[in-house]
Amino acid sequence: MATNKVDYARKARMHLSKADPVLARIIAEVGPLGIQPRRERFQALARAIIFQQLAGAAANAIYGRFVGLFPDAEFPTPEQVLAKTDAELRAVGLSEKKALYIKDLAAHIRDGKLNFHLFHRMTDEEIIEHLVMVKGIGRWTAEMFLMFNLGRPDVMPADDLGVQNAIRRHYKMRQRPNRKRLLKHAERWRPYRTAAAWYLWRSLDIVLPDGSAKAPTKNLAKRKK
């Protein structure tokens, strides 16, 4: 269940509005920062694996059937997942690779190779390095976990197409910025690049990686026509 909004929300709005007039206009139109850190850890990463390369309806159906394999739990533990056979996981619609990835994630947690309790001592990059050791988890998934589950304030998902498209549109670039150019552009937003990315997603009415969506404001909607 979602908790209160991130504690850096007000400072982020003030800093970004002062540092960047383009972002200041977006912030004024979108409104308060709406990131709500989620407590899920194993569940969030398993869900991310299931949703990879799938349309929302299909992914939701498979996710529901996966959770349904464990009727006595709101969500299974790593040990419960590892107790299932590959055939049982495949039967709910998981591909062979995704069944392997979820079991690999569960094994990393069970064996202590991925210890969420240590993350508060680690930098963003150290956490990313740990997460990408799991099969099926890439940098983007790790960044979304930092932003929406750990509440880290200064993550810039520079490979995200939504962020790239928003920057291209609002800053009138001829092409989508590549990773290097985007990171250079985003330096002005430190130490609240997470908030900047959230506002850029909202400015194009993009369904966010945490699954939430919001209709654009009247001003933003008019500009898109």
Q: Give the tens place of pLDDT for each residue, 110-151.
A: 999 999 999 999 999 999 999 999 999 999 999 999 999 999
> Using omega within 30 degrees of 0 as the cis cutoff, is the peptide bond preceding 216 cis?
no
pTM of the prediction?
0.87
Query: Distances from the Cα of 149 to the Cαs of 97, 109, 212, in angstroms?
Result: 25, 17, 14
pLDDT of residue 64: 96
Tokens standing for residue 134: 């799991």
Burial of 215 (0-12, 13-18, 19+ CB in 10 A): exposed
Tokens standing for residue 215: 């209709």
Amino acid at 195: A
Using one digit for the tens of pLDDT, what is the confidence trace for 83-102? Answer: 999 999 999 999 999 999 99
Q: What is the mean pLDDT of the chain?
A: 91
pLDDT reading at 218 higher than 50: no
Kindly report the backbone phi and psi dihedral angles of residue 147, in degrees, each rounded to the nearest multiple of 5, phi listed first: -75, -50
Q: Which sequence positions are flagged as catalytic? A: 160
pLDDT of residue 96: 96
Binned at pLDDT 50, 70 and 90, residue 53 comes out as confident
Cβ-contact 35, 209 below 8 angstroms:
no
Cβ-contact 165, 203 below 8 angstroms:
no
pLDDT of residue 3: 46
Using one digit for the tens of pLDDT, what is the confidence trace for 74-86? Answer: 999 999 999 999 9
pLDDT of residue 125: 97
Binned at pLDDT 50, 70 and 90, residue 211 comes out as low
Percent of the chain with pLDDT over 90: 83
Relative orientation angle of helices 161-170 and 193-203, to the nearest 10 degrees:
80
Between 56 and 63, residue with greater pLDDT: 63
Query: Distances from the Cα of 163 to the Cαs of 88, 186, 213, 215, in angstroms?
Result: 38, 11, 15, 17
